Amino acid sequence: MRIARIVPLPLVVAGCVSAPSATPPAAPAPRATAAHPPGPQPVAPPTTPEAIAVSGGLRVLLKASAKGAQIYACKGREGAPTVYEWTLKAPEADLFDDDGQRIGKHYAGPTWESTDGSKVTGALRSHVDAPDATAIPWLLLDAKSTEGAGVLGPVKRIQRVATWGGKAPPSGCDAAHAGAETRVDYTATYYMYGP
């Protein structure tokens, strides 16, 4: 019986020269297209009357749809305490993005608070009547104060547009109902502007 002898061959490594490949190189990862760009996209500001237009190079940082109520209290008018009227006490609403996801809340101050913990409190700058006479006015507010490093931290201006409902009742407030409160459903769109 013969046993074959195995003779090791020396392994030679000479420079890195690759032979031509029969397969093309892998295609690069697809880039974002206009239809599917990465990350949050710029939001165009709404068309509004000049009185509540935002200028000064500010851009829209956040667009939020609000759904909730305007809360009114029956009080004597300032300077005429025997004349009673419904006075706005506070808004109370949830804020949603364009996909219907809850992104924050809106409450007394007026204050807007994001789910990321940031907040902005506004001070009225100007207003115009809503196109719908049964809806609360469209507003432009200055940011009076901000808190947190999230999306609302750098806000400088706030617009309220596209309002529906929310107006105080035309009756039901008199001396017999002093101190009473009522909630009026409303919706609106808020645009938050910053540098």
State residue 36's pLDDT score. 42
28-64 pLDDT, tens per residue?
A: 444 444 444 444 567 888 999 999 999 888 999 999 9
HSE on the CB side for 57, CA within 13 Å? 1
Residue 191, pLDDT above cutoff 70: yes
Residue 24, pLDDT above cutoff 80: no
Give the whole-number percent of the chain exceeding pLDDT 90.
71
CA–CA gap between residue 135 and residue 145 (Å, rounded): 27
CA–CA gap between residue 171 and residue 11 (Å, rounded): 99
Residue 18, pLDDT above cutoff 70: no
The DSSP bridge partners found for residue 164 are 187
In the 8-state DSSP scheme, what is residue 62?
Answer: E
State residue 82's pLDDT score. 87
CA–CA gap between residue 144 and residue 156 (Å, rounded): 8
State residue 43's pLDDT score. 86
State residue 33's pLDDT score. 40
Identity of the amino acid at 114: S
166: pLDDT confidence band, cut at 50, 70 and 90? very high
Length of the chain: 195
CA–CA gap between residue 66 and residue 92 (Å, rounded): 9
Left if phi > 0, otherwise alpha if psi is -120 to 50, otherwise beta: which for 4? beta
Spans of all domains in the chain: 62-194
Q: Find the angle CA(150)-CA(39)-CA(32) to the nearest 5 degrees.
A: 165
